[in-house]
Each structure stands twice: as C-alpha cells, then as structure tokens.
C-alpha cells in the first residue's frame, strides 16, 4: 500500500510542469535587493511567495523590516501549526526571495528576468534547465520546498503533512541581510520555539551526488575610496608631479597578499583554525578534482591559485580570503582621456572561517589602509555588511534525518561537505537562539550563481522536491522515537 | 598717429564682449571627438569655425579625413593669400575644435556645454572667466587668434592684415589625431609652403606672466584587458581557488614603478636624455613653486610625488611617465555583489621625451605585460594612439618675433618654458615638413583643463587677442628686414 509520502512523491512527479511554471512566474519579478530602485519588485516577490504558501494552508504574514522612514525589504513569515499528534522537531525553513544584480547584462543569452526552459547545448550535459536570475539562488531552491508543502496539502489535506513548521523568507540575503538580525531579535518570541533550521541555498557535490553542507564561510564586505587631489587633472600637466590615486590604490591593494597568497593584514588570521586532520581525510575521500572545476570555467589546471600549502577544497572550505569584487576610477568610456582622477575606488571583501568576526576584520582592513595613506590623501571607508561563518555538528538527530531523506530521494548516500559561500543567517540563529542549521541544497557547481545565464536543472529541481517531501516524512517518523 | 595695429588693438578692446559671445556660441557645440555619438557635433563645430574665418575674408574649406566608409572628423583649412608686398614668413596656424569628454559630469557646477561667464569666487583670484568644456582647450585659445584676424579685417580691410597665412583646425586632437598625419601627407602640396607653425594650446607661467613653450612631451595611450575565467564567478565558491583578474591586474600594474618611482619596463628609458644643465639653471630661475601648485589642487607640499632625483618642473618638462588614466572591473554599482569577474581593464598612458617613440613604448609595455600573464589568462591589448615629443630651437627669427609680440602685449618679458602635455602635430610637422613650431598659449595652471569646470579667464582671452594682433604686426615688420 502506498504510504502518504509515496502519494506526495507521485503528485510531485505529475505536477512537475506546473511547479516549474510557478517558479518561472516568481523569477519574472526582478527582486534585486541591493539596488533601491527594485524595492517595489522585492515587495511583489514577497507577496507572490506569501500567496503560494497560503495556497498550501500556511498562515502567512508579510512583515516590514527596518525603520519606517527607511524601510528594508519585507520578511515573509509562514506558520504550519503541526498536527495534534506531532511530537517531532519544530523546523524553521529559511530561504530568500531576493536576487543578485544582473550585470554584465550583455553576457546573458536571454533577458535575466524573462526566464526560459532550455535544452542542454549539443555536446553538453543532457537535461533541461531553467535559465534566469534567481533560477537556483535562491528562488528555485526555495520552490522545491514550497512545492513539497503544496504536495502534502493537496494529497493529505494537512498543512506541511502535519509537521510543525515556520517558514521565513527574507529579501536582503544578497545585500547583506542588514535587517535580519534585528528582525530575528524582534521576533524571538515566535522563533525561539523552533528546534532546527533548514536551508536550501547550497550545492551538491556534483550531478547525482546529493550533499549536506555542514559549514559555510563568513563575509566582510567593504567599499573603499582613496581621495587625492580635489579635482581631476590633466595627465600631461600633472603626470610625474602628483601621485595618481588609481596608481596609489593599485600599489596599496597589491600589498594585500604576500608571495604565498596569504593575506598580509595584521590580525587577519586571528581565530582561524588549522584544517582538522579528520576533515582533511574525509575531503580527500570526496575525490574532488580542482582541474575539472577549472576546466568548467575555461582555465587549465595550471591556473589553480590560492593560499600556498592548502588544496583547492581546503582553500574554499576552511581558509579565509581577500578579494577585490570591483574596482573603478578615472576614464572608463570609449577612446582616450588623458586624466589623473581625483579619486579611485574598490569593493573589497573577505571570506571568513572559524572565529573570525566580520566587523573586526573590516576594522583591521581599514586600519591597514589608513597606515598606507599617501601624503595629503584621505580614505572614505564603508563597511557594507558582514556575516559570521558557521560550522554545524554533523551527528545531530536532524542532520541524520536529512541524510536519510536524501538517500531515499536519490538512492545514494549524501556527501558531507562545506561551502565557501556565506549564509549569515546560520551564524545569527546560532548566536541569538542557539539553533543549529541543516543546509540541504540542490545546486551544481556550474549553475552560474551570481553570473549571467544562471540556471537550475530540472533534474535538481525534481530531487529537491522529492528530498523535502521525504524529509517531512522523516520528521513525522521522528515523533515515534521516544 | 595711431598705427594700424593700435587701431586693431582698440577694435579688439571695443569688441571684446562680442568676441566672448562668439566663443560662447562655439562652446555650445558638444564636439567630443573620442565618442562617435558626437560626430555630428564635431562637424557643426568645424562649420562654425569655417563661418567665422570666412567673415574675416579667408578662403575656407572643410575637408574630410579618414576612409569614406569610416570617416574621421573634418579638418578646417583656411587661407589668407597675403598682400603683394608681404615678404615675411608664411605662417601655419594650428588649433583644434574638438574637446575632451565631460565626465564626471556631476562635478560640474554648470552644464559643460552651456557655457557661462562667472565672476571669481569670493576670496578667489579676481576676474571674470568663461566656464565650459573647451573654454581654454582649445576653442578659447583658437578664438583669440580668430578674433585678431577679424580685427585686422574690420580695421584694415586686408585679410590677416596682409600676412600670408594658412589656418588648420583639426577635430581629433583630444582623441589622438588619428587622421592628421595622413591629412598632412595628403596635403603636403599646400602645407609645405608654410615656414613656421603657430599654436595656441599651451599655458603661461602664471597670471600676468606670458610664456612661449619650446617643448612638449609625447604620448603613448593604451587600453589593456586581462581575461581570466570565461565567466563571472561567485566569490564565495571560487574565492581562494582562482586568481581574481582584478587582483592580478593590480599586482601587475603595481610593478610598473620601482621604489624610486621610475618606470620598470625594460627599454622604456632608451632615448631619454638627461636634463640639460643650462635648462636646469634657466628653469630654477623661473622660481616655480611645487608647493603652490599642489595647494591649487588641495594637496599639501608633502604630497609632491614623482621620479626621485628630479624637481617637480624637471619631472613635468623633461622626464617620461607612466599613468593609469582609468581602471575598471567587477561590480561597480551601488551596494555589494560578491563576484570574481572574468576580466579587468585599464587605460594606461605614457608621456614621452627626447627620442622616445610612441609605438615602440606601447610595444615594450605590451611585451612587459605578456611576460606577466597569469597561467591560463590572456591579454587584449590596444594601442589607442600616440604622439611624438618635440623640443624647438629658441633662437629662431619667428620665436623672437613672438617674444616681442608678447612683451608689447603684456609689458613683461615672455618666459621660455616647456609643457608636460602633448601636442603631437608639432612632431608630425617636423618629421613630414621640417617645420618648427611656436607654442604661444594663454592658459593658466588652474584652468581645469580636461576636468569639470574648465575655464578661460577674460584677462587671458584679452592678452591672447592682443598678442596675436601684435604677432601679425611683428610679421609685417619682418618683411622690411633684408
């Protein structure tokens, strides 16, 4: 006899096309959170998700964030009360409905907010994929969870299949979650009842290789501008007489790494643990190929680059970095302009691990810059945002339930991996509510997250829907454990 | 009894307001040569100048440049046949009607192509000034010459007062004069009859201190792009695993100067002469203050920067430089985007002296870059344009006539100076026609050439008109010398 979950899985299979169509509808809303002119789209994307969740029977509120005079993007908060018989954990599902900016827009093969379903290119990996901004990060992944909820409601009539659940979708993940900490503190009353957080915003080890991510890096993101002369200058009349702010910025940023590609900022490595020997062995066992990854972005194996003394996977999962995410200054239009500009700017960010603290790292960087200020120049330094790193225990009852769900959904054991990306909410939930997080994500390395032609493969969408349905089944089973 | 030149000077004084109004009209035409979308404006600015010259009796043609399928901006060529009695030199006046781009446009106090006459700021140097793009570089300066021609025509009825003269106004000076060499070669027949070139596109030593410029630097202007991964990457997933093209570009460009601020490119200093001891003494006698210049751009004396072992004036007039005129890569919009971009770019230019050759220097730079290509990366290298440096003899009969004209116009001796800027036509005329150039210009150090709020002071406009009228008088006098 088919159990309830089998019926749900069957419903998901039969309604996959409709589910993908719903995703496309959501993707058409340009919810770019970092740019204020898309605030209306962010609100629409929030309302759209709220509507979907209500159809699955949740009680949903769309709540404002930030001060009334300068509001942030809203949080969607949904609640499934759980059946009277439910004794399992109260799960907090976290996701985000906001997306990254789309530039360079000219590199997209189709408009970023006119999502399409595309067949794989000839010779490429087979399988259809949704292409558009947010396809995988994070609307597509959130959708796999929302469709599982929809399936349970349709098949069983019970909201979330009877599991007690809170769903929190924020709209500022791609712009630093600036109001999320305050929101969580302000709503501690409702949230502290949750036992564990579930997030689908990470990747698998590869196609057909599901994974649970048990650690993410933190982030400190800054913008810096070096101001020199009080006006732009003619490079003929002034070249050789004044320090060019672009050249000065270049000289300074080039000192940020040493010959071993280690970050030179004093104190930067405080709180960075060595790579655990057990983890190192486990990661070696994953047989990840740096050369294969590099080939996927058009580079030869020799282009492998990073902190000396660590493998590529160690550098991504266990080591901090400093990156220049953007740089600009002087004339950048067509042709020639012989200018020495009055200032030059960069966006510089740091990925953090262990006990590194975002605010402290930004502060150390700023002190380091100030110690290098050219005579008569001045800095304009902005700490745009930060997030704490998080490493979660891999042997919890919830993590094990997620592992079983992935195994049932895919037929293979889930790999235990980390991610170099940052999902700051995990650190916040740990600090504010003592809550652990399970990262169960369905992205692939080549999904072009944050890049033109971002995609989510239908195969991954399917696995996500099935895994979430089966995780709910595992939660329902947990209540029978004394 | 008033001589003819006295009447012309008087006419210029009485018609100064109308002359400035004519300049404003010309300045309203946005003749930005480096940006193709202003091609129509360039043509209008050329026609405008042709009209003005025709009113002064010159025969004028507006001649196309470049290939028919991809034309350049036109050259305005005017001719004054000279009176039958004229025995002096045939003068070629060169100027340009094109202007620099206007960005950063937000720093202009008034729109760049809506020129205004403004009083000096309270506490500032007194005197009215024309503010707008091209006010001094070069429309305003050319206008002082054109108004002198107009004055002679009005007062004497003779075109250019009877002096034999050719006027050549080009429209590509600010974008590398890419078609000028070909134009000069193609029109060698008409131009080789000229004896000496006169250019008003340089500055004075200071307010009330007229000067003749006897040397300019050359220029090699390049654009470089470093390509790394074939797509933009997520800095969380890839940070620490791949060389960030912005970081790589920064590392490479930071090697362009050594600890003494000398350019490190091998062969760069080939053909650079030492500073002549006699010139060094003469320049010391000019009592130019580096501290005062720096104060004018909002920097303290300690901000003096450049190649060690040379004074500020030596660095500007006699030493080559390397500058980054623009840099861009990654995300440069509002807020944060955690990207490692696929490529990063810069505009890098070199000022040249002595026997340095623009094409060779660009080539040496490109070789130097290629030797630093990160593994798997590639360069896109463009030599945008170049111009030869030029130093002219200071004891010619023409140079001395110009000196006397400036003395009569201003009451003080003209200083003999050089400029760090580049006016490539001087090198071309020397190479193609063996012709020397007199640079007699009326700009000031604080005119914000190439910058927002470019200005030309009415006092300087007046001195320019008078000096050109008196130079014509000196030319007329020369014919009486046997």
The tens digit of pLDDT for each residue in A35-83 reads 999 999 999 999 999 999 999 999 999 999 999 999 999 999 999 999 9
Q: What is the DSSP string of A378-446?
A: EEEEEEEEEE--EE--TTSHHHHHHHHHHHHHHSSPPEEEEESS--THHHHHHHHH--EEEEEE-B-TT
State whether B347 and A340 contact (CB < 8 Å).
no
CA of B359: how far to CAs of B222, B252, B269, B355, in Å? Answer: 10, 21, 14, 12
* A175 close contact with B: CB closer than 8 A: yes
Q: Give yes or no: residues B400 and B361 share one domain.
A: no
Number of Cβ within a 10 Å radius of residue A233: 24
CA A295/CA B92 separation, integer angstroms: 61
Which of the four pLDDT bands, split at 50, 70 and 90, describes residue A1? Answer: very low
Work out the percent of chain A whose per-residue pLDDT is above 90: 88
Nearest to A323 among B235, B298, B324 (CB): B235
Which chain A residue lies closest to B232 (C-alpha atoms)?
A: A451
What are the phi and psi torsion angles at A63 (to 5°)? Answer: -105, 135
Q: Which residues of B touch A384 (CB under 8 A)?
A: 335-336
* B327 close contact with A: CB closer than 8 A: yes
Question: What does the block give as tokens for B294?
Answer: 């720096």
- DSSP helix/strand/coil, B130: strand
Q: Would A133 be classed as within a structural domain? A: yes
β-bridge mates for residue B352, sequence order: B218
- Domain at A138, CATH number: 3.40.630.10
Which segments in chain B show pLDDT lower than 50?
1, 481-482
Mean pLDDT of A441-451: 91
Q: Give yes or no: residues A228 and A212 share one domain.
A: no
Interior/surface letters A76-99, b for 16+ CB within 10 angstroms, e for the rest: bbbbbebbeebebbbbbbbbbbbb
* B321 close contact with A: CB closer than 8 A: yes
Q: Give yes or no: residues B153 and B19 share one domain.
A: yes
pLDDT of residue B394: 86
H or E element at residue A156: helix A139-156
Question: How are the residues of chain A apportioned to helix, strand and coil, as percentages rounded to the nearest 5?
Answer: 35, 25, 40
State whether A312 and B241 contact (CB < 8 Å).
yes
Which of the four pLDDT bands, split at 50, 70 and 90, describes residue A336? Answer: confident
Does residue A312 have a pLDDT over 80? Answer: yes
Residue ending a domain, among B356, B387, B418, is: B387
Nearest chain B Cα distance for residue A64, angstroms: 20
Q: Give yes or no: residues B83 and B212 share one domain.
A: yes
pLDDT of residue A121: 75
Q: Give yes or no: residues A42 and A104 share one domain.
A: yes
ipTM of the complex: 0.86
Question: What does the block give as tokens for A114?
Answer: 């006119």
Taking the mean position of all CA atoms in its chain, how far away is CA A254? 28
Least confident of A344-348, A375-379, A391-395, B10-14: A391-395
Q: Which residues of A touch B174 (CB under 8 A)?
A: 336-337
pLDDT of residue A479: 65
Q: Give yes or no: residues A396 and A471 share one domain.
A: yes
Nearest chain B Cα distance for residue A114, angstroms: 20
How many domains is chain B built from? 2
Q: Would A253 be classed as within a structural domain? A: yes
Give the largest Cα separation in chain B, rounded: 87
Q: Which residues of B touch A216 (CB under 8 A)?
A: 236
Task: Please answer whether residues A128 and A120 qualify as being in contact, where contact means their C-beta atoms are separated by less than 8 angstroms.
Answer: yes
Task: Please answer whether residues A79 and A59 qualify as being in contact, where contact means their C-beta atoms are separated by less than 8 angstroms.
Answer: yes
* A177 close contact with B: CB closer than 8 A: no
Q: Which residues of A touch B384 (CB under 8 A)?
A: 335-336
State whether A451 and B339 contact (CB < 8 Å).
yes
**Which residues of B55-164 form beta strands (DSSP E)?**
59-63, 75-80, 91-96, 116-118, 129-131
Q: Give yes or no: residues B90 and B120 share one domain.
A: yes
Q: What is the DSSP string of A167-211?
A: EEEES-GGGT-TTHHHHHHHTHHHHTT--EEEE--SB-SBTTB-E
Q: Which residues of A touch B330 (CB under 8 A)?
A: 324-327, 347
pLDDT of residue A96: 98
Number of Cβ within a 10 Å radius of residue B459: 17
Which chain B residue lies closest to A448 (C-alpha atoms)?
A: B233
Q: Which residues of A touch B448 (CB under 8 A)?
A: 231-232
B window 142-171, beta carbon within 8 A of A: none
Q: Which domain covers residue B46, as residue numbers?
A: 4-217+389-478
Q: Which residues of B touch A241 (CB under 8 A)?
A: 290, 293, 304-306, 312, 315-316, 420
Q: Which residues of B touch A327 (CB under 8 A)?
A: 246, 250, 327-330, 332, 344
CA A249/CA B316 separation, integer angstroms: 22
Interior/surface letters B281-292, b for 16+ CB within 10 angstroms, e for the rest: eebeeeebebee
Q: Give yes or no: residues B255 and B394 share one domain.
A: no
pLDDT of residue A176: 80
Q: Give yes or no: residues A57 and A164 share one domain.
A: yes
Residue ending a domain, among A339, A355, A386, is: A386
Q: Give yes or no: residues A324 and A460 share one domain.
A: no
Q: Would B310 be classed as within a structural domain? A: no
What are the phi and psi torsion angles at B391 (to 5°)? Answer: -125, 130
* A262 close contact with B: CB closer than 8 A: no
* A293 close contact with B: CB closer than 8 A: yes
Task: Please answer whether residues B108 and B419 qualify as being in contact, where contact means their C-beta atoms are separated by less than 8 angstroms.
Answer: no
Pick from A477, A409, A356, A473: nearest CA to A212: A409
Q: Would B448 be classed as within a structural domain? A: yes
Which of the four pLDDT bands, split at 50, 70 and 90, describes residue A106? Answer: very high
Pick from B318, B101, B322: nearest CA to B220: B322
* B344 close contact with A: CB closer than 8 A: yes
* A373 close contact with B: CB closer than 8 A: no
Mutate to test the interface with A, among B337, B350, B422, B455 (most CBs of A within 10 A): B337
β-bridge mates for residue A381, sequence order: A224
Nearest chain A Cα distance for residue B431, angstroms: 22
Nearest to B420 among A100, A236, A349 (CB): A236
Which of the four pLDDT bands, split at 50, 70 and 90, describes residue A209? Answer: very high
Taking the mean position of all CA atoms in its chain, how far away is CA B373? 34
Q: Would B285 be classed as within a structural domain? A: no
Task: Please answer whether residues B376 and B228 qualify as being in contact, where contact means their C-beta atoms are separated by less than 8 angstroms.
Answer: yes
- Cα radius of gyration (chain A): 24
- Domain at A375, CATH number: 3.30.70.360
Mean pLDDT estimate for chain A = 94
Question: What does the block give as tokens for A270?
Answer: 């405080």
Q: Which residues of A touch B307 (CB under 8 A)?
A: 240
**Which residues of B286-377 form beta strands (DSSP E)?**
321-330, 339-340, 343-352
* B176 close contact with A: CB closer than 8 A: yes
Least confident of A153-162, A381-390, B107-116: A381-390
* A242 close contact with B: CB closer than 8 A: yes
Task: Please answer whether residues A421 and A216 qualify as being in contact, where contact means their C-beta atoms are separated by less than 8 angstroms.
Answer: yes
Pick from A397, A467, A387: nearest CA to A196: A397
Residue ending a domain, among B371, B387, B403, is: B387
Task: Please answer whether residues A139 and B369 qualify as being in contact, where contact means their C-beta atoms are separated by less than 8 angstroms.
Answer: no
Which of the four pLDDT bands, split at 50, 70 and 90, describes residue A481? Answer: very low
Mean pLDDT of A419-439: 90
Q: Would B280 be classed as within a structural domain? A: no
Question: Which region, left, alpha or beta, applies to residue B98 given φ > 0 means left and ψ of -120 to 50 means alpha?
Answer: beta
Q: Would A281 be classed as within a structural domain? A: no
Mean pLDDT of A78-93: 95
Q: Give yes or no: residues A364 and A408 share one domain.
A: no
Q: Would B296 be classed as within a structural domain? A: no
Question: What does the block give as tokens for B303?
Answer: 């901000």
What's B337's DSSP letter?
A: -
Q: Which residues of A touch B304 (CB under 8 A)?
A: 241-242
Non-local (6+) Cβ contacts of B298 within 8 A are A229, A230, A231
Q: Give yes or no: residues B412 and B366 share one domain.
A: no
- Cα radius of gyration (chain B): 24
Number of Cβ within a 10 Å radius of residue A59: 12
Cis peptide, bond prior to residue B104, ω within 30 of zero: yes
pLDDT of residue B2: 53
* B455 close contact with A: CB closer than 8 A: no
* A396 close contact with B: CB closer than 8 A: no
């Amino acid at each position: 006899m088919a159990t309830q979950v089998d019926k749900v899985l069957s419903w998901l299979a039969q309604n996959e096309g409709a589910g993908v169509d719903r995703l496309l509808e959501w993707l058409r809303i340009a919810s770019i959170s970092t740019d204020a002119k898309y605030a209306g789209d962010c609100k629409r994307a929030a309302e759209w998700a709220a509507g979907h969740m209500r159809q699955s029977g949740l009680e949903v509120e769309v709540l404002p964030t930030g001060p009334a005079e300068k509001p942030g993007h809203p949080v969607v908060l949904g609640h499934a009360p759980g059946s009277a018989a439910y004794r399992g954990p109260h799960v907090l599902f976290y996701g985000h409905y906001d997306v990254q900016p789309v530039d360079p827009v000219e590199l997209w093969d189709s408009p970023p907010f006119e999502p399409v379903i595309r067949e794989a290119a000839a010779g490429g990996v087979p399988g259809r994929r949704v292409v558009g901004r947010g396809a995988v990060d994070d609307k597509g992944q959130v959708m796999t969870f929302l469709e599982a909820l929809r399936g349970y409601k349709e098949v069983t009539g019970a909201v979330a299949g009877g599991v007690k659940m809170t769903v929190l979708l924020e709209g500022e993940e791609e712009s630093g979650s600036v109001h999320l900490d305050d929101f969580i503190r302000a709503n501690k009353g409702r949230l502290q009842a949750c036992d564990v957080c579930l997030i689908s915003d990470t990747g698998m080890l590869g196609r057909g290789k599901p994974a649970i991510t048990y650690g993410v890096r933190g982030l400190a993101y800054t913008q810096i501008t070096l101001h020199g002369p009080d006006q732009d200058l003619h490079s003929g009349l002034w070249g050789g007489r004044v320090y060019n702010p672009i050249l000065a910025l270049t000289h300074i940023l080039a000192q940020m790494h040493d010959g071993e590609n280690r970050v030179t900022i004093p104190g930067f490595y405080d709180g960075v643990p060595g790579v655990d020997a057990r983890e190192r062995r486990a990661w070696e066992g994953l047989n990840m190929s740096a050369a294969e990854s590099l080939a996927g972005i058009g580079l030869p194996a020799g282009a492998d680059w990073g902190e000396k003394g660590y493998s590529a996977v160690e550098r991504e999962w266990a080591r901090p970095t400093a990156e220049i995410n953007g740089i600009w200054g002087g004339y950048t239009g067509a042709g020639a302009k012989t200018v020495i500009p009055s200032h030059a700017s960069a966006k510089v960010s740091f990925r953090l691990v262990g006990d590194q603290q975002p605010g402290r790292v930004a502060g150390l960087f700023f002190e380091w810059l100030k110690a290098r200020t050219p005579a008569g120049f001045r800095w304009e330094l902005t700490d745009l945002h930060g997030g704490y790193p998080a490493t979660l225990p891999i042997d919890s009852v919830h993590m094990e339930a997620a592992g079983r769900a992935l195994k049932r959904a895919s037929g293979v054991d889930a790999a235990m991996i980390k991610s170099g990306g940052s999902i700051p909410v995990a650190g916040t939930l740990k600090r504010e509510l003592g809550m652990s997080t399970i990262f169960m994500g369905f992205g692939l390395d080549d999904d072009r997250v944050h890049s033109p032609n971002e995609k989510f493969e239908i195969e991954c969408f399917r696995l996500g829907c099935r895994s979430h349905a089966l995780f709910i089944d595992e939660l329902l089973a947990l209540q029978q454990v004394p």
